[in-house]
Amino acid sequence: MSVPQTPGPTLCAIALAVLAFGCGEWLGSDGGTEPTDHQEPRNLNQIDGDGTGPTEARPEDLQIVDVAVPTPNWALAIHGGAGSANRATTDAEDYYEALREALSLGAEQLAGGEASLRVVENVVAALEDDPRFNAGRGSVFTTIGTHEMDAAIMDGRSLACGAVAAVKNVRNPIRLARRVMEDTRHVLMAGAGADNFGVVAGVRREPQAYFSTERQLERFRELRARRGASQDESGDSAATTAGDYTGNAGAPAALGGASHLATVGTVAMDRYGNLAAATSTGGTMLKRIGRVGDVPVIGAGTYANNSTAAVSCTGRGEEFIRHAVAHDVSARIEYGGLTLQEAVRQVIQEKLRPGDGGLIAVGPDGAIAMEFNTNAMFRGAADSLGRFDVGIWDEVRRGQPPSEQPEAEAPP
C-alpha cells in the first residue's frame, strides 16, 4: 500500500483556489495591494444577486470537494504485557527505554521496506532477548523452578501460522514458531517434540540456566514462600486464589511495582498492505508443568488477517482462550462492520472482565488500537506519518521516529 504522506493534488487545488479567491478580492482588477476609497472589501459570506444587491450564499451554490486524508503506508504496535503496575515502585524509565528500542527496530525495518512477517518476528525476538520482559531470557518459573515458553506467529496475507508451546531450550521461541509455519504442515508443536524439532530446524538453543534472571528468581522464591502452597500428587503446587503473577517491574512484597501478566507481542502493516502478528511469553509465575496459555492458540492470543486486523494479546491466558479474543476482534470487523477501535474496545471493555488484560491491533488501513482493562499495559506505536509513542499507564509519551531524531552535536 502506498499512500501519499503529503496533501494530495485535490488538497493543493483547494488551497490555491482559496488563496487566489482571497487575493483576488483584495487585489482588485488593477492588481492593487489594498482596497482604495472606491473599492470596499467584499463580504466573503455573500455572493452577487440579480442586481438588487448582494445576497447570502445558498447551499446549492457551493461545491463540496472531497479532501484526501493521508493514511500511513506502514504501521507498527508492540506490547510488553498488561497488568497492575505501581507508579511509585515500577522502574518506568527503564521500561520506556526498552519499548523505544524495540519500537525503533521495527519502525526502521518497515520504513526500509521489510515485510511485516519478518518485522514482527525480529521485534519479538529482540524482546525475548531482553531480560526485562517475561519471554525468552526473562521467563518466569514453573512450580518446580523450570522454564516453559510459548510463542506464535501469523501471516495475514495467507493465514499461514505457526506456534510452539512449553519449549524449554529454545533461545527464541518465536523463531521456532516461524519454522513450524514454514517447514512443517503443522500449526502447533509442544513440549519435547517442539524442542527436538528445534534441533532439526537449526534454531539457537540454550540451557535452562540461560533463561533464569536474578530478578525473576527473587520473585519466584518470595512468591512461593508467600503462597505456602501444598504439593499435589504430581509435585505441582496446588492452586490458590491469589491469582497469576508474572510481574516485570519491582518486588512482589509490595506487588512488585507490578502484578504484571507479562507477554511480549508485535503487530504490523507493511508497505505492501500485508498484516502480521507475533506473540511470545514465559507464561505465569508458578504455573503447573505443561500449562499452556493463550499465546500459541491461534485466534485466542494471536491472529492476523489482511482483510480485518492483526492482533496480539496479553493477560490472563485462560480468559483469552475462553473468549477467542484475537479472532473475535477480527470477526466483529468482518461480520459486524465495526471499526478496529470499536471492535477492540467492545472485546476488552465489555466482553472480558476488568483486570483480564489487553491487546494491540493494526488494521489494513494502518489504524492502530491499544486497549487494556488493567491499570497498565507496556506498549508502543509508530507509523509512516511520524507517530512514535510509548506508554505504560493511561498517558502516552510522544517522540520522534529514529530517522527524524535530531543528530547529536559533535563533542568539542
Catalogue the active-site residues. Answer: 263
Identify any residues that bridge with 149 across adjacent strands, giving them in sequence order.
167
End-to-end Cα distance, the chain: 45
Q: What is the largest CA-CA distance in the chain?
A: 102
Residue in the block written with cell 512468591? 223
Q: Contact, 347 vs 332, CB < 8 A?
A: yes
Residue in the block written with cell 476609497? 37
Instruction: Name the nearest CA neighbour of 215 among 247, 168, 255.
Output: 247
Cα–chain center distance at 227 = 33
Write out the three cell numbers for 412.
568539542
> Taking CA 104 as the corner, what is the angle to CA 209 and CA 168, rounded to the nearest 5 degrees?
20
Question: CA-CA distances (angstroms) from residue 33 to 22, 24, 51, 192, 242?
Answer: 12, 10, 27, 83, 78
Phi/psi region, residue 136 (left: phi>0; alpha: psi -120 to 50; beta: rest), is left
Burial profile 148-164: b = 16 or more Cβ within 10 angstroms, e = fewer: bbbbbbbbbbeeebbbb
Write out the three cell numbers for 333.
470487523
**CA 120, CA 276: separation in Å to the nearest integer?**
7
Q: Contact, 123 vs 115, CB < 8 A?
A: no
Q: H/E element holding 146?
A: none
Under DSSP, the state recorded for 14 is H
Q: Contact, 274 vs 158, CB < 8 A?
A: no
Cα–chain center distance at 256 = 24
**CA 273, CA 330: separation in Å to the nearest integer?**
17
Q: CB count, 10 Å around CB of 48? A: 10
